[in-house]
Amino acid sequence: MNIAYRSQHFQDWASQQWNIWRGQRIAPEDAPWLMGPCGEVGAQADEFITTIAADEDLTVDRNLKTGGLLSSIQDLELSTSETERLRPEIIDFYENTAAYELDLKIEWRSYFSVFGRLVSFLYSNRLKQLNFPMNQQELSDGINSEVVALRDPTSGKAKYTAWYRTFISSGRVLYSGIYSTCKLPSGKVCIKAVFPLPRGNATVILEPAVGANGELCLTSSGKKYGDPGFYFLVNDSKDCHWAQYIRSFRECLNVFVDKTGKLRAEHTITLWKQRVFTIFFKLSRRENSCS
């Protein structure tokens, strides 16, 4: 019987054990599209960044003024017609994320907010990861957004790009994840966001599409392992790897330019096809950033 790593908080062990029971054992070399950095027991927030850099002999480049979650929009391998239709403001955001400020508004579906508070109490506040905002007051002063590049010291090329976001009002961590692209077994290229957790990670794979008005639609929705969607990965006590595809948990992120010419995004999370919450983003280039 495969057992989760024992020397850690009980709730972390229990959730990992559940993922081992419900998931499937995988060989990393057979699933390069899914593999990503894992966290260490006791690590918090963005501490995984220095660990990855030390383990892989990379340099950490912080406080960037330019640089984005994607090195180029071409990384998504969209069709020619989709690329031509995609709004240039959206391309600029993904290629120059570090130059943008974020303002947020959140709307919870009332009965799911209890579940959100429970997750925060058991996991998010302690791990300083995946901290969904629970009320608008916490968002009143905005969000600190930092893009961090982990570079090969010889070539200077970024191997990983981390996006670290905190609440200005409290300093509490919102998200701290590694962003890249991956090619699914179907051949479809998607955006992959990896959020390191103790002895594993939560991974969201989002399939891109361009709408009729040039908006970018990213959806994590599928039917089976290998599809876009939400995954938990666990490294057990024997260093075996396990993955569980959570079909019931889905995300939809629409990035668009509104009628006033402002860049905005709407991020909706659903569970069992019921809306949990929606986050509304206003994305603005910093005044001192270069165009």
Cα–Cα distance between 283 and 265 in angstroms, integer? 8
280-290: average pLDDT: 82
| Per-residue tokens: 60 | 């950490």
Cα–Cα distance between 95 and 151 in angstroms, integer? 17
Nearest to 32 by CA among 154, 149, 180: 180
Inside any domain, residue 130: yes
Inside any domain, residue 206: yes
Cα–Cα distance between 169 and 46 in angstroms, integer? 19
pLDDT tens digits for range 13-55:
888 898 899 999 999 999 999 999 887 776 666 778 888 898 8
pLDDT tens digits for range 142-173:
788 899 999 999 998 888 899 988 888 777 77
CB 220 within 8 A of CB 207: yes
How many residues make up the chain in this entry?
291
Number of folded domains in the chain? 1
pLDDT value at position 247? 93
pLDDT value at position 121? 58
How many H-runs (helices) and E-runs (strands) does the chain carry?
Answer: 6, 14
> How many other C-beta atoms are found inside a 10 Å radius of the C-beta of residue 282?
16
Inside any domain, residue 226: yes
Q: How far is CA 237 from CA 4, 14, 234, in A?
A: 5, 13, 10
Mean pLDDT of the chain: 87
Q: Which domain holds residue 127?
A: 10-285
Cα–Cα distance between 215 and 263 in angstroms, integer? 10
Q: How far is CA 244 from CA 20, 87, 97, 158, 191, in A?
A: 8, 35, 30, 29, 19
Inside any domain, residue 114: yes
Inside any domain, residue 1: no
Inside any domain, residue 78: yes
195-205: average pLDDT: 90
pTM above 0.75, yes or no: yes
pLDDT tens digits for range 48-100:
888 889 889 999 998 888 889 999 999 999 999 999 999 999 999 999 999 99
Which residues pair with residue 207 across a beta bridge?
A: 219
Inside any domain, residue 171: yes
Inside any domain, residue 5: no
